[in-house]
Chains A and B, each alone.
Chain A
C-alpha cells in the first residue's frame, strides 16, 4: 500500500506521487479526503494538496459535493477500459453465433462507455470497417447515433468544433442531426448509409441495461446497395437484442 517505505525510491517525482494519489483514491474509495490521502502516502500536506488540485484541474480526480472528498474522474475511463480486455459470456456468444449463422451481414457488438464506443465483439468472418472513424465520429455511425439519441443534451457528447464531413453523405448540420435523433428515439433503431465510409451501410439497435439505459448496440453491416435488406431485419434484430442484452450487461 505505501510505496514510500520502499528504500529504492529516494526521490519520488511529481508524476509518481500523482499516480500514487490516484492509487490511494482507487483503494480507499469515493469520499476520501485530502488529509487522508496525504496521511496514507506520508506526503507533506501542502505538497499533497497541490498535487491533488492539479489532478482535479486535469479532471483525473473529482471532488464530492461537500468539496471535502475525492473520487476518480471519468477522464481515467479511457485508461481503465483500455487496460481491461472485454469478455463476452458464453451464453451471449452462443446467441451471437446463432445470429451470425442466420444472416449474410457482418454482426458486431458495440459497448458504450460514457461518450465512447468500443467494439466488444467483432464478427470473426467480416472485419469491422472504418474502426478508427467508428470510435471517433459519433455523428457518422449508426451505433454512435444510438449513443447520442440516448442523451437529452446530446451536444455534450460531441466535440465543440464543427462536425467532420467524412463523406458527402455525412450529416454535419446540428439541426438535421437533432431531427434524425428524434426519429431514432421513436423507431428504436439507427441507420447510416455511406456516412461513415463509401459503400458501407449499418443498422444498429440498442442493447439496454437493467435500468433501461442504452449500454451498447447490436449492429448489422453490409454494402450500401443492400440497405433495404438490412432495414427488413430491424424487427428481428431488436428481438435478438432483447435476448442478448441481459446476457451482456
Chain B
C-alpha cells in the first residue's frame, strides 16, 4: 500500500467548527429543521393556488409531480455528500470541496439570499396573517401597516431569543408549531372537501389544463419553490447525533412528505376555487378568502393562525440554516471573524444570529414602510428566495460528482445523476428567466446584482487574501476521540 504524502494530519486534534455542540441532536429535531424550512402547511395553502391560476387543476397537478421529481433528483445529488461530510455550511461547504472555494463563496451567498429572503417572507407573513385575524373575526376593518410592523418586530425578537437559546429548543418549537399547523391546514382541507362535494361542484375542475409548454415549465419552477428548504438540515450535520445516517434520511423523506401533502391539497383547492367568486380567486390568500366568503370566520381565523405558525417555524428554520453558513464563513475568514464566534453558555452562533435577524427584520419593515402591500412583499421575497435556493442547488448538484471524484469514490451513476439534474435545473431556470424578462425583471436584476457583488468579492479575495479563500470548506472533521484507540494513538 502506498501512502500519499499528506499535507496535514489524517484526523484533526480539534474540530475547526468547535464551539457548536457536537453530535448531540437526535433525529426528530433534524427532521423538524428540514420540514419547517419547507413550511409545507403554509406552502400548501398559498402556492398551489398560484399554479392553479395559470395552469388549471390538472396542469397544476402535473407541475407539482414534475417539481417533486426535480427536487428528488436534487436530493439524490446532495445525499452522497451528506453521507460523507459533516458539513456545517450545507451546500456551501459541499461546493467548496467539489467545485472549489472560488465557486463556493458565491454559492454560499446564493444560499444566504435564499434563507434570508424566506426568513423575511416568513416574518412578513406572521405579521400579515396574525393581524389579519382581527379583520376576519370582524374586530377591525383593515390592517394598518403599523400593526403589521409591530407584530413582525415582536415575532423577530422571539425568534432571535429562541435561536440564541439553542438549536434543541428552536427545533422543538419548530416541530410543535409545524405539527399544529399541518394538522390545522389538513383538517380545514378535509372540511373544504366535504362542503364542496356536498354542494355538488363539478370535479372536472381538478382535471382542467390551461396554458402552453413554456407556461408549464414556469409552473414547475413555482411548484419547486414549494419544496425549497428541504436541504437545510445539512447545516446541522455537525450537531446531529448520527449525521451520516440522519441527514441523508431527512433530505430523502422531507420532499416525499411535502409532495404527499401538496398532491392532496391541490385537487381540493382546485375544486373549491372553481366555483368561487372572482374576488376570492384574486385575493392573495384565496383559501382564507374562500372560507370568509362562505361565512366561516372562526375557521378562517384558525387557518390564519395555522399559516402564521407555519411561517414562524419557517423563519426559525431558515435563519438557523443561514447563521450556520455565516458562522462557517466567519470561521474561515471570508466573513467578519465575529460571526464565527459562539455563545459560551448556549453554544449557538449568537453573533451571527443577532446580525442576520437585524437584517431579516429590517428589510421587510422597510419594504412595508415604502408602502408596498404585504402581498407584493411576500411575492418579492419568495421569488428572490427561489432564485437563491435554485442557484445553490445548481452548484450543489454539479459538485456531487466532482467531490466524489476528488475523494476517489465516483461512480458512473453519480455522474449521470449530477449532469441530468443540472441540465434540468438549468432548463427550468433559463425558461423562467426568459419568461420573467417581461414580468419580474427588477427582482432578477436584484438577484443578479447580489450575485455579481459576491463574485467580485470572491475575485478580490483571490487576489488580496488567497489564504482566506483557501481555508474555505471547513466542516466537522473526524477527531481523535472518534477513532478506535489503537496502539498508534495511545
Contacts and interface: CB of A to CB of B under 8 A. Distances in A.
Given A31-B3, A36-B1, A74 B84 contact: no
Q: Which of A56, A65, A80 has the most CB of B within 10 A?
A: A65
A67 B85 contact: yes
A83 to B, nearest CB: 12
A65 B477 contact: yes
Contacts of B85: 67
A73 B483 contact: yes
B355 interface: no
Contacts of A58: 242, 245
Interface in A52-84: 53, 56-59, 62-69, 71-74, 76-77, 80
Contacts of A31: 3, 6, 10
B8 interface: yes
B323 to A, nearest CB: 21
Contacts of B241: 160
A45 B413 CA distance: 12
Interface residues of A, number: 38
A32 B1 contact: yes
Interface in B6-26: 6, 8-12, 21-24, 26
B485 A73 contact: no
B484 interface: yes
What's the dominant secondary structure at chain B's contact region? loop
A30 B488 contact: yes
A46 interface: yes
B481 interface: yes
A28 interface: yes
B129 interface: no
A46 B411 contact: yes
Contact of A49 (B411, B478, B482, B485): B411
Interface of B: 1, 3, 6, 8-12, 21-24, 26, 80, 83-85, 97, 241-242, 244-245, 248, 406-409, 411, 413, 477-478, 481-486, 488
Given A59-B244, A71-B484, A153-B22, 7 more contacts: A34-B408, A49-B409, A56-B84, A63-B84, A65-B478, A67-B407, A73-B482
25 contacts: A29-B488, A35-B408, A45-B411, A53-B84, A56-B83, A57-B83, A57-B248, A58-B242, A63-B84, A64-B11, A65-B8, A65-B9, A65-B12, A65-B477, A66-B6, A66-B8, A66-B407, A67-B97, A71-B483, A74-B483, A74-B484, A77-B485, A113-B485, A114-B485, A160-B26
